Amino acid sequence: MPTLYTMPGTCSLAPNIAVAWLDAPVEVHTMAYGDHKKDDYLAINDKGKVPALRFEDGDVLTEAAAILNWLGAAHGGEGYARDTVLGWKEAEALSYMTSEVHAAYGGHFGPQNFAESDAAIDEVKRKTYEKLDTHYRRMDGILSGNGDWYLGKRSFADTFLYVLTRWIDQTPLSLDDYPALKKHIGRMEADAGVQLALKRQDMEPMG
């Protein structure tokens, strides 16, 4: 059975939710924070990040979007088919969320990687939150126009959107400014699969 490596508070929650939604035969292994930098895990994923999916033959797949794609292809059935408009839109949404929105958090989690002086670090943070606000307003508008789910129907895009929306509380931004995203949080946390994934990852609901 493949093993999905997760850690509390991280984007590995997205494939964890997908495993629950699909009832996929995947073991979820949640590490304590910091274990991702230890030799045992680095031997699995030398990037020192989660998620990682290790197959029984020792092969490893990393990056949340790639793992979500594999889960859908291997265990999703017709509801998660990738050769449909919904599948293409899901791939587009996940690409945007992981490569642009998630990446924009670099200036929040590690501003010292972009500047040295206190004044420059403050500038990095200010620009980071401006950029994040632009992203969140865009996603809030898309969700508002599509109804309950980001793409009009439930998809893996909702798993990653849930992760990103949870992170708002770590910033000076306010969830109240994105009403559709705030409703999405409640909708997701009413879902039994999301509740299971949170429990497996030693996390609490926001609501």
pLDDT in tens, 158-202: 999 999 999 999 999 999 999 999 999 999 999 999 999 999 999
- Structural domain span for residue 182: 81-191
- Kindly state whether residues 126 and 139 are assigned to the same domain: yes
> Which residues, in sequence order, are CB contacts of 187 under 8 Å at separation 6+?
148
9, part of any domain = yes
Residue 124 has pLDDT above 90, yes or no: no
The secondary structure of residue 176, as a DSSP letter, is G
DSSP 3-state of 13:
helix
Give the per-residue pLDDT at 24: 96
Ramachandran region of residue 199, left (φ > 0), alpha (ψ -120 to 50) or beta? Answer: alpha
Give the per-residue pLDDT at 111: 80
- Kindly state whether residues 106 and 148 are assigned to the same domain: yes
Give the per-residue pLDDT at 195: 98
- Kindly state whether residues 186 and 94 are assigned to the same domain: yes
pLDDT class for 122, splitting at 50, 70, 90? confident
pLDDT class for 65, splitting at 50, 70, 90? very high
196, part of any domain = no
Mean pLDDT of the chain: 94
Give the per-residue pLDDT at 205: 94
Domain count across the chain: 2
- Kindly state whether residues 70 and 92 are assigned to the same domain: no
26, part of any domain = yes
Mean pLDDT on 87-108 = 94
206, part of any domain = no
- Kindly state whether residues 97 and 157 are assigned to the same domain: yes
198, part of any domain = no
| Portion of the chain with pLDDT greater than 90, in percent | 83
DSSP 3-state of 115:
coil
